[in-house]
Structure 1
Amino acid sequence: MPLKAPETAPTATIAFQRLLIIMDDLRDNCPWDKKQTLESLRHLTIEETYELSDAILGDDKQEIKKELGDIMLHLVFYSKIASETNDFNITDVLNGVCDKLINRHPHIYGDVEVKNEEDVKRNWEQIKLKEGNKSVLGGVPSSLPALVKASRIQEKARGVGFDWEEKNQVWAKVEEEMQEFKNEFNAEDETTIDHEKAEGEFGDLLFSLINYARFININPENALEKTNQKFIKRFQYLELKAKEHGKQLQDMSLAEMDIFWNEAKKL
């Protein structure tokens, strides 16, 4: 006999309880859900996070809502699995994050005074060190994509006062790194270069550009992804127009492709 599904809930508290009940039902009765482990869910959670990111960049509110639900399910799923081995449960997870937020916001739940956002960030990092973090950078996940990791490293360092004072200083560093990168090869000819050294200088250049982006309040990950999407849209237009003219891209000259590319830029 099929189980009776819990009805749509009128409040957040009851809705969350509804999700917990459904999770219990699935874990007990669904062959796929019963098989899952913390490790098997990991890559799926990463995928769901990227799908949420796509929805946010696309400013699709309904899709954002759906993806948030998927991620919420994963959080409940991990907690359910851990509860089965008595490691922790969803109540422990929720109380843990509540306790952390209270402890790290002494300007709200204590007598600490702050003047601005920078004071809040500075206090946050100092509190984390008191909680046992051996390094300010210890909270940056090793598996983060390099672009995101560079941003987080710089934000963490800024939180304890290790930062440039003016954005013109940062731009000077960008120009310095650009020159050092250019010095590793001559773009005018095919001179053999020290690939490892050039790679290092290129990394330094990217790091300095990400640093400058932070100073002018640009999220480099968002900026690059928007450029990726812009390129995809224009390239797919190029493919479409080539097909309409009975041509294959590989058989077209760059000048021919540029005609359609410039059309795409005007859309």
Structure 2
Amino acid sequence: MDRLVAIMARLRDPATGCEWDCAQDFATIAPYTIEEAYEVADAIARGDMADLKDELGDLLLQVIFHSRMAEESGLFALSDVATAISDKMERRHPHIFGGAAEGGHYLWEKIKADERAAKGEASTLDGVAIGLPALLRAEKLQKRAARTGFDWPDAAGPRAKVIEEIAEIDAADIDQREEEVGDLLFSVVNWARHLGVDPEAALRVANAKFEARFKAMEAEAGESFASLDLDAKEALWQAVKRHAG
């Protein structure tokens, strides 16, 4: 760890460091941080532990990069980041570290709510990061709202809402379609949540399935694929689906 911290300090040295690294700030590095987190998730999904080791290193570098920039500005250092998360984990597990009689998910959520209140976050929905992927943020907003009792009792409610939103898209003017499609996606996330399905993970699976089948279509048709009419492409698609099982 000390070696990696020293490497980042060297890269950020304004006199002898890397021009690209020196030119970065929190905003320009943030997209890379998000990308590296997704690459970690991808390695886990593929079960590639060697790649996971590399991707975790890339993600760790992001933490060190941000911490180094903060230290240069006199804000905090990597040691402060480690201390803060250590304090938080101990505070949120009083049954492990503090001698509390009980713990579990309920206590974890109560402690988090108390922390938000201490920060002056009055709403149940405060603190759900805007930068999260939209599907994930929708799910988190819904879960927060559900803690107050604002939720469907079962999956039938959100399923009916999905059908209702589809009808509203059909009836919408062009300038209303974006909003109505957003409402539909939000409702689908809600339905998935009630079915016990992670919508972000489900969409990743669907993306991977589409990608694999489309590539199989291209391989089957060869260079003529793009020139095929839609009926021929659909026939190829159905054949690939049957082969894939």
- 1:32-65 per-residue CA deviation (whole Å, 9 max, x = no partner) reads 3334333332232232223223223322222121
Q: 1:125, CA displacement in angstroms? A: 2.1
Q: Is residue 151 of structure 2 the alignment partner of residue 164 of structure 1? A: yes
Q: Is residue 208 of structure 2 the alignment partner of residue 229 of structure 1? A: yes
Provide structure 1 residue ranges, at least 5 long, that are not aligned to the other structure: 1-15, 186-191
Q: Is residue 148 of structure 2 the alignment partner of residue 179 of structure 1? A: no
The match for 2:44 is 56
> Kindly tell me: are residues 39 and 194 of structure 1, through their superposed partners in 2, closer, same or farther at Cα, counting changes over 3 Å?
closer
Among 12, 18, 27, which residue is 1:31 paired with?
18
> Kindly tell me: are residues 127 and 53 of structure 1, through their superposed partners in 2, closer, same or farther at Cα, counting changes over 3 Å?
same
State the aligned residue count: 240
Q: Is residue 203 of structure 2 the alignment partner of residue 209 of structure 1? A: no
Q: 1:226, CA displacement in angstroms? A: 1.0
**Does structure 1 conserve the Cα–Cα contact (< 8 Å) formed by 2:95 and 2:103?**
no
- Quick one: distance in 1 between partners of 2:80 and 2:228? 62
**Does structure 2 conserve the Cα–Cα contact (< 8 Å) formed by 1:237 and 1:264?**
yes
> Kindly tell me: are residues 113 and 125 of structure 1, through their superposed partners in 2, closer, same or farther at Cα, counting changes over 3 Å?
farther
> Kindly tell me: are residues 178 and 196 of structure 1, through their superposed partners in 2, closer, same or farther at Cα, counting changes over 3 Å?
farther
Provide structure 2 residue ranges, at least 5 long, that are not aligned to the other structure: none
- Quick one: distance in 2 between partners of 1:55 and 1:194? 42
Q: 1:73, CA displacement in angstroms? A: 0.9
**Does structure 2 conserve the Cα–Cα contact (< 8 Å) formed by 1:136 and 1:157?**
yes
RMSD: 2.6
> Kindly tell me: are residues 81 and 115 of structure 1, through their superposed partners in 2, closer, same or farther at Cα, counting changes over 3 Å?
closer
Among 4, 14, 21, which residue is 2:6 paired with?
21
Q: 1:80, CA displacement in angstroms? A: 1.5
Q: 1:235, CA displacement in angstroms? A: 0.9
**Does structure 2 conserve the Cα–Cα contact (< 8 Å) formed by 1:57 and 1:222?**
no
Q: Is residue 180 of structure 2 the alignment partner of residue 195 of structure 1? A: no
- Quick one: distance in 2 between partners of 1:103 and 1:128? 14
The match for 1:242 is 221
> Kindly tell me: are residues 257 and 166 of structure 1, through their superposed partners in 2, closer, same or farther at Cα, counting changes over 3 Å?
same
- Quick one: distance in 2 between partners of 1:202 and 1:113? 48
Could you say what secondary structure the match of 1:138 adopts?
coil
For 1:166, give the aligned amino acid.
P
The match for 1:252 is 228
Q: 1:230, CA displacement in angstroms? A: 0.7
Q: 1:117, CA displacement in angstroms? A: 2.5
For 1:31, give the aligned amino acid.
C
**Does structure 1 conserve the Cα–Cα contact (< 8 Å) formed by 2:152 and 2:158?**
no
- Quick one: distance in 2 between partners of 1:181 and 1:254? 25
The match for 1:218 is 197
Q: In the TM superposition, what are the counterparts of 1:124-163 in structure 2 within 5 Å?
A: 124-158=112-146, 160-163=147-150
**Rg larger in 1 or in 2?**
1
> Kindly tell me: are residues 71 and 93 of structure 1, through their superposed partners in 2, closer, same or farther at Cα, counting changes over 3 Å?
same
- 1:12-40 per-residue CA deviation (whole Å, 9 max, x = no partner) reads xxxx2222233233333432333433333
- Quick one: distance in 1 between partners of 2:32 and 2:67? 16
- 1:156-190 per-residue CA deviation (whole Å, 9 max, x = no partner) reads 223x33343632xx3223213413532553xxxxx
> Kindly tell me: are residues 165 and 148 of structure 1, through their superposed partners in 2, closer, same or farther at Cα, counting changes over 3 Å?
closer
TM-score (norm 2): 0.83
TM-score (norm 1): 0.77
- Quick one: distance in 1 between partners of 2:172 and 2:203? 28
